[in-house]
Structure 1
């Protein structure tokens, strides 16, 4: 498998990437419109959605004409666009498998791009909630966006299924009765590999992440767990988000002569970092480790051999051996022509959570839904997950894995399982 050599022809790749991002934005806007129209046509009389708020309606039928309107706030352009694509793909696959229905109601989808910008996200939120009158929200990608949305959903009593944003305080100081996460937290993501790395790889590490909330929270969790296990962080390095050239940061990190480097980057940033790590000559000299993103298809597929040897803490792989995952992978490959990543699973599980909540609540009333969402369990492709009533975060397995090259593809080889990883009920920081 060939790696992507971003630094050798950076301008051409950036131009190509820009074109793809513009195409992605247009495609998703058209897709959202088509799906919304299709759902409306399936709904008797193409009726309009209910204008009542999530908290005030006692209508056991929910939305208009037996429909449920779902509003998505995702980052469809920029670094996080591939993550959003996976979430929508997974959600749509679940709908296809359930006749376009959740909780017995036809689904109308409204998808908006927040551009990973909290202010844009707030504007799109108001458009969806106060303009489109959506019943339930799904998203976002960015922790910064999630923190901005939290007070709005609390005020409007609107249920938000957090399909990705991993901000720790959504389970701690900013926990809301209306926000339930089906992905993972930055604390889980950062801490899962720390003990193993301290015991099996080395005691001295340099850690890197983008300079934004998720990056800082992942490194905070890793550092605390790593040093508790006897390790020492020599240096923390925070490049800006959307960095194109990591060479200065790789030079700074390698100069510390660590036993290994631990890094958190995702989306296009992650592809560039892994590729440039090899090009800079560090692959094979200083072990590269990271959280789940570094063992996920989203990064390992495009980076190929550059990702070989990375040790990561994953919570999903298309190679996990369980029946639910086998069926999911087969269906996903048939529909999209590629293997699913964790973000596709998060979209799939978002739909499953909504489906179960509406079915059991018998209502779209937010107060009825949250009674079900607290403690809900899902048979996910990643295995069973349970939303902890105390933190609104999933209790789930993580797997220490090493990327190996097998039959021309990067496959995560499971080294150790960390079972039922559960967030602390209060911040330890």
Structure 2
């Protein structure tokens, strides 16, 4: 009987000890969870949780891969920290669908409690997210989506673009093309917001420089056969064809331009995507001769770019593209902003992000506080075949391309 009583006492003691340990464990878990969330402005949090909303499937998947690769490379070079805080990454696929993106956004912000957001690829998705981040007061670093209105009518104190705007992408090479290539152009782009905005900017700048756009053609996104559209463009007998296509659409368009017999007959020019590794590598000789207005190339001659390219090749076994540098620059900008703000609180980060400047592999960058858009150099380049690879040779530098403070199209 005494043995039984002793056993019961020991069992009760063990149960009490287990309960105490469980309570201590819960308290520690709660403290850790709180530390990874937004701090109170004192900079006390030792970690930062970043949510990525990117299009990881479909046409834009290669773009998303580049952004994540560039961001991760920067973390590798900085001991996995931004602003001295350990980084935890959560990635969601928006499928380039605004409604899907909103669901994924709510998972990241309300369920996973991320501190900051990076992405998206699609301008349509960016427009859908804009009101949500405004309502929740969450800082979004726009790593690619180039929708013009994010800097004009839909500008938000919580959205800061590190890539480029459609206005910058479409307008930068127009003057050179009108003066050096020809006055009569047919222009093509996919039938979605980014395509229409790039062509709108090109047309305005091209015609201001004395050129004339005689036809605009808008194939559907994810078009497989461009032959009918190329035939329609060629029928106008233009001096040049200017196009904007990204990802797999761009690869198909450039390849079919050559197959349709237009390469060497009608000069092809385009937005920065046409001078980028993501399109020039898989299309090879078909991309030769294209004139593009680029903001980045692994062949740009500056020391930071040389270091970036070397590190990227060592990690991923290939050259970086413009989307790789967008991810790298998103991390660099966050690193500087968190360091200077000493906090993860949106109110403090906003004060730093307005007008922030840093050096990039593509050249000097400054976020214009009037538009929350980067002021940056663009480079007029011509794709040249060298040692079996396409190299975009820089013909001319357009310095400090700055987006207008308000829309010139209203």
Question: Fold match, TM over 0.5?
Answer: yes
**Aligned with 1:50: secondary structure?**
helix
Note the alpha carbon deviations across 1:3-34, whole angstroms, 9 max, x for none: xxxxxxxxxxxxxxxxxxxxxxxxxxxxxxxx
Partner in structure 1 of residue 298 of structure 2: 318
Larger Rg: 2
Query: CA–CA distance in 1 between the matches of 2:265 and 2:42?
Result: 62
Structure 1 residue 269 displacement after superposition: 0.3
Structure 1 residue 52 displacement after superposition: 9.8
The total of aligned residue pairs comes to 382
Note the alpha carbon deviations across 1:173-225, whole angstroms, 9 max, x for none: 00000000000000000000100000000000000000000000000000000
CA RMSD of aligned residues (A): 1.4
- Is the aligned partner of 1:339 residue 2:327? no
Note the alpha carbon deviations across 1:59-118, whole angstroms, 9 max, x for none: 42355xx11000000000000000000000000000000000001111000000000000
From 309, 318, 339, the equivalent of 1:359 is: 339
- Is the aligned partner of 1:115 residue 2:99? no
From 418, 421, 424, the equivalent of 2:401 is: 421
Partner in structure 2 of residue 153 of structure 1: 133
Query: CA–CA distance in 2 between the matches of 1:122 and 1:235?
Result: 36
Structure 1 residue 161 displacement after superposition: 0.3
From 17, 35, 40, the equivalent of 1:58 is: 40
Over 3 Å counting, the alpha-carbon distance change for 1:409 and 1:390 in structure 2 is: same
Query: CA–CA distance in 2 between the matches of 1:52 and 1:138?
Result: 17
Note the alpha carbon deviations across 1:208-266, whole angstroms, 9 max, x for none: 00000000000000000000111100100000000000000000000010000000000
Partner in structure 1 of residue 242 of structure 2: 262
Query: CA–CA distance in 2 between the matches of 1:392 and 1:62?
Result: 28
Contact residue 37 and residue 48 of structure 2 kept, 8 A: no
Gapped regions of structure 1 (runs ≥ 5): 1-43
Contact residue 49 and residue 133 of structure 1 kept, 8 A: no
Query: CA–CA distance in 1 between the matches of 2:221 and 2:30?
Result: 43
Partner in structure 2 of residue 283 of structure 1: 263
Partner in structure 2 of residue 32 of structure 1: none
> So what's the TM-score if we normalise by structure 2?
0.91
Partner in structure 2 of residue 409 of structure 1: 389
Structure 1 residue 284 displacement after superposition: 0.4
Contact residue 138 and residue 160 of structure 1 kept, 8 A: yes
> So what's the TM-score if we normalise by structure 1?
0.87
Partner in structure 2 of residue 205 of structure 1: 185
Contact residue 62 and residue 68 of structure 1 kept, 8 A: no
Query: CA–CA distance in 2 between the matches of 1:322 and 1:181?
Result: 23
Query: CA–CA distance in 2 between the matches of 1:335 and 1:166?
Result: 28
Partner in structure 1 of residue 16 of structure 2: none
**Aligned with 2:34: secondary structure?**
coil
- Is the aligned partner of 1:227 residue 2:207? yes
- Is the aligned partner of 1:399 residue 2:383? no
Structure 1 runs of 4+ with >3 Å offset: 44-54
Question: What aligned pairs does 1:35-184 form with structure 2 within 5 A after superposition?
Answer: 48-50=32-34, 57-61=39-43, 63=45, 66-184=46-164
Query: CA–CA distance in 2 between the matches of 1:106 and 1:424?
Result: 37
**Aligned with 2:102: secondary structure?**
helix
Over 3 Å counting, the alpha-carbon distance change for 1:99 and 1:306 in structure 2 is: same
From 219, 228, 247, the equivalent of 1:248 is: 228
- Is the aligned partner of 1:385 residue 2:365? yes
Partner in structure 2 of residue 349 of structure 1: 329
- Is the aligned partner of 1:304 residue 2:284? yes
Query: CA–CA distance in 1 between the matches of 2:32 and 2:52?
Result: 18
Contact residue 190 and residue 221 of structure 2 kept, 8 A: yes
Structure 1 residue 46 displacement after superposition: 10
Over 3 Å counting, the alpha-carbon distance change for 1:134 and 1:407 in structure 2 is: same
Query: CA–CA distance in 2 between the matches of 1:134 and 1:60?
Result: 18
Query: CA–CA distance in 2 between the matches of 1:381 and 1:257?
Result: 39
**Aligned with 1:415: secondary structure?**
strand
Partner in structure 1 of residue 252 of structure 2: 272
Query: CA–CA distance in 2 between the matches of 1:378 and 1:152?
Result: 28
